[in-house]
Structure 1
Amino acid sequence: MYLLTAVSAVAALVGQVLSQGAPIVPFPTSCSGIAAPRYPYTIDSGWQVTKVASGLRQPRTIIFDPLGHMLVLQASFGISVHTFGADGCINSTKTLLQSTALNHGLTLTPDGKTLYASSQTTAWSWTYDATAMTISGQKTVITGISQGIHSTRTIVVSPKNPNLVLVSVGSNSNWDNPTIDPNVGRACVKVFDMSTVPANGYSYNTGGKMLGYGLRNEIALAFDPNGHVWGAENSGDDFRRTINGQSTDIHIDNPAEELNYLGDPAAPLQNNWFGYPTCFTVWEASNFRDNTALRTGSQFVVTPNSTFNDASCVGRSNPPRLSFPAHMAPISNAFDAQGLNLYITFHGSWNRQPAQGYMVAEVPFKKNENGTYEPVAPADSKTGYKTIIGSQNPGGCNSPGLTMSSCWRLAGLSWDLAGNNLYVSSDNQAQGEIFVLRKTA
């Protein structure tokens, strides 16, 4: 009986795809058999939320195939695929691929026929069958990715140019000084043409084109309606500002996390440098008493000298278009269908007391007269976003490890095909959870 019900539900969704374009998944008010949320949260009055999955293993990334099935990369486990019933709850779950190497990256071409995933060192592709929910024909497409403290490799397909695949690689330490040279192949985002993959795959360092470098750990990557890329960056830890030999701890509120405009992946800019490991971004300007010209969104260097100082960053490094408080750790981002809001998951801080993050932020965007998109708030704003859902007491969250925490660790983020439901995962190793959010008005 359960199998027949699941098959009927899938058939109904397929029918909706054929007749309407995108399957409409109802918003569930509750889902039976799903454990209650493990950690307390608060939600904005304009939104509602329901937990739809529990017991997953560190769900890091969520995507949807053309039939409305939800694919989830579970770190150090593999990829699962989930279907929805008429009540909007998950009614079947299948393991698509088991692999302990996979830890974050997952993406699908718009036609739903090619799936990509990544480990710390390698990216692969498979032929995907959405109807059968199967994969076949594994191919190695990128190899030789450097290892380091940042092990996740975001991989995303360009929606405007599906042959182009972007892969981000973070720094191998807090201060990865060699990455001032883009050829090092770390702290950067590169674009690879999958229509011309070499027989043994691209070498990350020597293949592809550089979209942007000087990006300490640009995990969150999203495309605006023009197909241009916006990245959210995890910035540095444990900073001290040193002036004339006098050192001041500024790490509680600086450097800021960043929202960067990386540009068109089909036409990468030359020398598209975003500052790391030299120029960082101010969140709390009062910490910089030696330079009163600095404000939120300005760039600074940790130890100014006669050769290179704060002013030297201007005109050399691309400053962020918007900033966020330090150590909130952005993981995923996604635009709504109109491109008028960008949503970002913040994993939460481990080296700041009180802690902050552990939330989903909404960043209002606007479309300019020339057709480009950008945040509504100016670059020096501290109020260019709002929390739509977050930990009930983020300041009390204790996170001694990447996925260990006394609070949820928000990670994956994706709209369903209809653009009505926003799915969000928590990869806390105590319990992997997925929630669905929807605006109430």
Structure 2
Amino acid sequence: MGQFMKLTGLIALISTLTNYVCAQSKCPNTGDEQFVLRLGDGYRYSKLELALWAPHHMVVDTEGNLLVVEGGSVSVRRLVLEELGDIVCVQSSSDLISEDASNTGIALSADGKTLFTSTEESVWAYDYDAATGQVGQRREIVTNMRVGLQHIYRPLLTSKYNPDTILVARGALGDIDPDTTDPAVARSVIKAFSISEGLQKTHDYARDGEVLAWGIREVVAMAEHPVFGGIWAVESQMDDVHLNGRDIHNDNPAERLTYHGVLNDTENPYKGLNYGYPSCAPAWDTESIGIDGLQVGDLFKPDGVPDIPDGECANRMKGRLHFDAHTAPRDIKFNVNGTAAYIAFHGSWNRDSLIGFRVMRVDFGPDGQPVHPANSKTAQVPVFENVEMAHCPLNCFQPSGLAIDKKGRIFLSNDQLGYVYVIYEA
């Protein structure tokens, strides 16, 4: 029995160590890893590029090239990729767009021939040739989005199922934005715009378009289910939350994954729903909140928010899944067959001990919905994460953007250190 226990322990140790090992092959000029990273079961990784400036959201074009939003003077960089043994590496890197640096927003039209980027103020469209990497003159299709220095991201999503539609999200003016109790303010919303109409006459964000969702504090990324066409968004919630004078901010409110129906469904029951912000917040640590019967994801009214009648939070739309408070989701992408969504969590600052700084997987069922219920705390499967948080956030793995190609490879940006990784199914 003793020998068996030793053997079992050795196997477990080998399995654990294996999860810390990257792909044996290495791309040229990518250097050695600076910190210890842990992989989930069934994954391996390699470093793709390390000379980028604050890389954020990414897309893969129809030729398999990776387009990366950068900070600084370059808005979008184009990475032409090549196979090198069992990994993929960069064959060439070039500036694609150098006008008015983008924040995070980037998307391609359904046919891949139009590239969209966003700034704090506008959404821009460019004719795009994936084979040559040439872009045409930019055209402003949405404007009047600037709200202030906080929540500057304007994430974009184009639809395969409704190709003339582009979704644009705009966050709150501050941590708590009282004016957003009125959807006409057009903050803390997701709005849908016609691409063809925007190319003829620029949309005004506040005045034009349709509200897909409101009361949704800061949507940082959106994704369309590749099989069912459902629209999903990840949302970052408010900070420094108190309830009845008690500080409950360390583990509340929950970050969340919200569902918004199918764009080409004329009877979409999710269209135009209110998700509670700024008066209601989703629960994560229900024990510290102390409301009888409250479950994970249920909405409650914190201190200092716009007043609403008692019990009204129960009438607002809840998230579909919920995540640890302050983990700061930054991007979401589905795999090719829609059986999983990958979420990049940028990491916390507004809690006593750091949390996040990881990529997690959420599994989806054959109905196009997550397999876990809305009140689950175990819906996240670890994929890629830091082992040691002591050097976060300045010198650690801090994921920002995701992209997935036709071969199922997951591209992942680290905006703090300028890296792009590739995660492979082992």
User: For residue 182 of structure 1, what is the aligned residue in structure 2?
Assistant: 183
CA distance in 1, matches of 2:344, 2:420: 13
Question: What is the CA distance between 1:332 and its match in structure 2?
Answer: 0.6
CA distance in 2, matches of 1:174, 1:307: 18
User: What residue identity is the alignment partner of 1:240?
Assistant: H
CA distance in 2, matches of 1:256, 1:70: 32
Select 2:259's aligned residue among 249, 256, 261. 261
Question: What is the CA distance between 1:151 and its match in structure 2?
Answer: 0.4
CA distance in 1, matches of 2:91, 2:101: 28
Using the aligned pairs only, state the percent identity. Answer: 29
Select 1:45's aligned residue among 35, 41, 55. 41
1:28–1:89 Cα contact (<8 Å) kept: no
Of 83-92 and 186-195, more deviation after overlay is shown by 83-92
* Cα deviations by residue, 1:293-333 (Å, 9 ceiling, x for unpaired): 11211110014999623x3212x211011100000000110
User: What residue identity is the alignment partner of 2:409?
Assistant: N
User: For residue 123 of structure 1, what is the aligned residue in structure 2?
Assistant: 123
2:70–2:101 Cα contact (<8 Å) kept: no
1:355–1:397 Cα contact (<8 Å) kept: no
User: For residue 413 of structure 1, what is the aligned residue in structure 2?
Assistant: 402
2:220–2:235 Cα contact (<8 Å) kept: yes
Q: How does 1:31-430 map to 2 (within 5 A)?
A: 31-76=27-72, 77-87=74-84, 88-148=88-148, 149-197=150-198, 199-224=200-225, 225-242=227-244, 247-266=245-264, 267=266, 269-289=270-290, 291-303=291-303, 308-309=309-310, 311-314=311-314, 316-368=315-367, 373-394=368-389, 396-399=390-393, 405-418=394-407, 420-428=408-416
Indicate how the Cα distance of structure 1 residues 274 and 85 shifts in structure 2: closer, same or farther if over 3 A, else same: same
For residue 219 of structure 2, give the secondary structure of its aligned residue in structure 1.
coil
For residue 179 of structure 2, give the secondary structure of its aligned residue in structure 1.
helix
CA distance in 2, matches of 1:206, 1:352: 38
User: What residue identity is the alignment partner of 2:174?
Assistant: S
Question: What is the CA distance between 1:380 and its match in structure 2?
Answer: 1.0
Indicate how the Cα distance of structure 1 residues 306 and 436 shifts in structure 2: closer, same or farther if over 3 A, else same: closer
After superposition, the CA RMSD in angstroms is 1.8
For residue 56 of structure 2, give the secondary structure of its aligned residue in structure 1.
strand
Question: What is the CA distance between 1:397 and its match in structure 2?
Answer: 4.7
Q: Please list every run of 5 or more consecutive structure 1 residues that lacks an aligned counterpart in the other structure.
A: 1-26, 400-404
For residue 414 of structure 1, give the secondary structure of its aligned residue in structure 2.
strand
For residue 197 of structure 1, give the secondary structure of its aligned residue in structure 2.
helix
Question: What is the CA distance between 1:361 and its match in structure 2?
Answer: 0.6
1:334–1:413 Cα contact (<8 Å) kept: yes
CA distance in 1, matches of 2:182, 2:307: 22
1:166–1:192 Cα contact (<8 Å) kept: yes
**TM-score w.r.t. length of structure 1:** 0.86
CA distance in 2, matches of 1:83, 1:353: 42
Indicate how the Cα distance of structure 1 residues 28 and 206 shifts in structure 2: closer, same or farther if over 3 A, else same: farther
User: For residue 11 of structure 1, what is the aligned residue in structure 2?
Assistant: none
Question: What is the CA distance between 1:86 and its match in structure 2?
Answer: 3.0
CA distance in 2, matches of 1:380, 1:140: 41
2:203–2:209 Cα contact (<8 Å) kept: yes
Question: What is the CA distance between 1:436 and its match in structure 2?
Answer: 0.4
CA distance in 2, matches of 1:421, 1:28: 16
Indicate how the Cα distance of structure 1 residues 378 and 100 shifts in structure 2: closer, same or farther if over 3 A, else same: same
For residue 252 of structure 1, give the secondary structure of its aligned residue in structure 2.
helix
* Cα deviations by residue, 1:143-201 (Å, 9 ceiling, x for unpaired): 00032310010011111122100001011100001011111011010010112126441
CA distance in 1, matches of 2:28, 2:332: 29
For residue 159 of structure 1, give the secondary structure of its aligned residue in structure 2.
coil
For residue 273 of structure 2, give the secondary structure of its aligned residue in structure 1.
coil
Indicate how the Cα distance of structure 1 residues 159 and 236 shifts in structure 2: closer, same or farther if over 3 A, else same: same
CA distance in 2, matches of 1:220, 1:261: 12
User: What residue identity is the alignment partner of 1:282?
Assistant: A
For residue 218 of structure 1, give the secondary structure of its aligned residue in structure 2.
strand
1:66–1:110 Cα contact (<8 Å) kept: no
For residue 251 of structure 2, give the secondary structure of its aligned residue in structure 1.
coil
**TM-score w.r.t. length of structure 2:** 0.89
CA distance in 2, matches of 1:135, 1:331: 27
CA distance in 1, matches of 2:313, 2:188: 18
Question: What is the CA distance between 1:112 and its match in structure 2?
Answer: 1.4
Say whether residues 1:30 and 2:26 are aligned partners.
yes
1:191–1:265 Cα contact (<8 Å) kept: no
CA distance in 2, matches of 1:421, 1:198: 33
User: What residue identity is the alignment partner of 1:423?
Assistant: F
